[in-house]
Structure 1
Amino acid sequence: MSLRGAADVARQLAVTLSLAACAYTAVRGSSLSGAAPIAEAAGGAFAPGYTLLSPGYGAFLIWAPIYLGLLAYTVYQWWPAQRRSRRQRGMGWLAAAAMLLNAGWIYAAQAGQVGLTLIVILLLLAVLAAAVHVLNRYPDETRADGLLVDAPMGLYLGWILFASAANAAIWLTVQRIGFGDRTIWAVLAVAAAAAAGAATALSGRGRLSVALSLCWGLAWLMVARWAGEPQSPPVAIAAGFGMFFVLVCGLTRRSDVEHQEHLDLRHRRPVAS
């Protein structure tokens, strides 16, 4: 086996072992192993309702498709054709790093280290953004690529984008750091997350998976601030507008790309004699 081939196998193994670590800590974080659930860690700092940016419990159901997507991706990257793929070589190590950071975040949260969780989730956000950038550089060539690589990473990035804002709000609350009216800052944070999500959804061929997972978080935030505690109609309205904006950007980009591809196909079609 050549040196490059050995490096490819090492990457595939790293992704697989990282998934195993991620899955173990996910079970640990859900209290199925007997450990304290994340919602009870750090004095309840990660529980719904702790800050104006904390979504309802239903928001966390998105971890099921994210973990299933990561499992599907891990299996797919073992396919022979994927071993030497430019996409896999470019983002495989980033995917492994993301899953290890995910595991690290759960350990930090259960240890009550809120400041460390913020550092880890920001690193995770940067790694996932880099992975999606690689996918934009090397667009998917098959339907399997789009479903088993792009979709899982997009879902993951969109959710972590939302979760990073929520984590920052938790840290500021725990540290009792305030900058005036917390409602105004919460609205600005929602606007910033929506803008970042829209920019990502507009990249490449249109990242609908990023838009959908971010909108999922914004939808549960809207419900929590409208009908839950603490109640904040301004934050709920901002979340609703943000959700609409991100969806429109993602759908518009995808529609434009599909229209352009259709035109290109027509231009390449031979003229009948």
Structure 2
Amino acid sequence: MLTKGTVMRRIWERIAVAVSAVVAVVGAFVGSGAAGGTPIQDAAGGALSASSTAIAPDGPAFSIWSVVYVGLMAYAVRQCFRTADDARHARLTVPAVLSLLLNAAWILSVQFDFLWLSEPIIVALLAVLVWAFVLLRRSRPSGIVEAIVTDGTFGLYLGWVCVATAANTAAVLAAAGYRGSGLSQDVWGVVVALVAGVVGVLVAVWGRGRLAPTASLAWGLAWVAVARVDGPLVSVPTAVAAVVAAAAAVVVTLVARVRTAAPSGAAAAGAAGAAGAAEAGRVSR
């Protein structure tokens, strides 16, 4: 039986998520330039534009934020109607709130030309999303709505922020005057793209083939490839590495998903067979 204190805490958790979601969406509105601010790709002297570094994705890649924000708002609404004893959502409250506030903070840091500050913020955001992914991985969603709104949204969020963190780090280093320690931009582009692919493979294996993180990570890498063959900063090696990395993440995700589903199917078939054998035994007796 839930105590009054527990019920009140659950209510405040819902309010915190809802308010944080509004803050994040308002921040996104400002970051788009619609409220008089400078679009993110043009802010901070264009440090995050498609031509800033070899790992920067092309402009259309950022449209995925619209999907993520819609998902986050849907999640905020969904968790407002959860039951007081919903432990899964209760565990997710803190990382969800932190991710929303860090998202807004990252936008503001870029808008006010504090590019150096954007780096620890986006790294913290990535860590928080990994935390959320760990919590969601521990239990299954209660249904298709939960799987899409909660697991799907935070999965997309994580995969995209993996790519965004790599692009942001490269932009911060370039703005600070780092020139690659003697290595060419092509080499660094290939290395970072392949590292992103390795991260995608690890997430695929550890997440047992969850589709959402891979979908957004592959989306980001695909637009990195587009930017490197059709833009002012051409790097064919980086484009090839980005495509290979995205393909590897997708293939490993599908394999992991099939392997995860296979034991469940075998168990179900085994249970059905045992039940049939037992029924046949009763009939024979």
TM-score (norm 1): 0.96
Partner residue in 1 for 2:24: 22
Alpha-carbon displacement from aligned partner over 1:117-168 (angstroms, at most 9, x marks no partner): 1110000000000000001112223222211110000000000000000000
Partner residue in 2 for 1:180: 182
Report SS of the residue matched to 2:178: coil
1:69 to 1:12, Cα distance in 2 relative to 1, 3 A: same
Partner residue in 2 for 1:231: 234
Report SS of the residue matched to 1:141: coil
Task: Measure, in 2, the Cα distance between the counterparts of 1:9 and 1:248.
Answer: 42
State which structure, 1 or 2, has the greater radius of gyration over its C-alpha atoms: 2
Partner residue in 1 for 2:74: 72
Alpha-carbon displacement from aligned partner over 1:192-243 (angstroms, at most 9, x marks no partner): 1111121112223422100000000000010110121210001000001001
- The aligned amino acid for 1:216 is W
Task: Measure, in 2, the Cα distance between the counterparts of 1:102 and 1:215.
Answer: 21
Matched pairs, number: 272
Task: Measure, in 1, the Cα distance between the counterparts of 2:85 and 2:95.
Answer: 16
Task: Measure, in 1, the Cα distance between the counterparts of 2:61 and 2:175.
Answer: 22
Deviation at 1:3, TM superposition (A): 1.3
Alpha-carbon displacement from aligned partner over 1:18-70 (angstroms, at most 9, x marks no partner): 00000101110111111222222111111111111111111011011101111
Report SS of the residue matched to 1:48: coil
Deviating more after overlay: 258-267 vs 103-112: 258-267
Deviating more after overlay: 33-42 vs 221-230: 33-42
Gapped regions of structure 2 (runs ≥ 5): 281-285
* C-alpha contact 2:48 2:167 (8 A) present in aligned 1: no
Partner residue in 2 for 1:268: 271
Task: Measure, in 2, the Cα distance between the counterparts of 1:32 and 1:41.
Answer: 13
Task: Measure, in 1, the Cα distance between the counterparts of 2:20 and 2:80.
Answer: 14
Partner residue in 2 for 1:125: 126
Instruction: Map residues 1-273 of structure 1 onto 2, 5 A cutoff.
Output: 2-81=4-83, 83-178=84-179, 179-181=181-183, 182-269=185-272, 270-271=275-276, 272-273=279-280
* C-alpha contact 1:94 1:130 (8 A) present in aligned 2: yes
Gapped regions of structure 1 (runs ≥ 5): none
Task: Measure, in 1, the Cα distance between the counterparts of 2:267 and 2:97.
Answer: 36
1:258 to 1:190, Cα distance in 2 relative to 1, 3 A: same
Deviation at 1:93, TM superposition (A): 1.4
CA RMSD of aligned residues (A): 1.2
- The aligned amino acid for 2:4 is S
* C-alpha contact 1:197 1:211 (8 A) present in aligned 2: yes
Task: Measure, in 1, the Cα distance between the counterparts of 2:138 and 2:187.
Answer: 37
Task: Measure, in 1, the Cα distance between the counterparts of 2:207 and 2:57.
Answer: 29
Task: Measure, in 1, the Cα distance between the counterparts of 2:230 and 2:207.
Answer: 37
Task: Measure, in 2, the Cα distance between the counterparts of 1:185 and 1:48.
Answer: 16
* C-alpha contact 1:136 1:203 (8 A) present in aligned 2: no
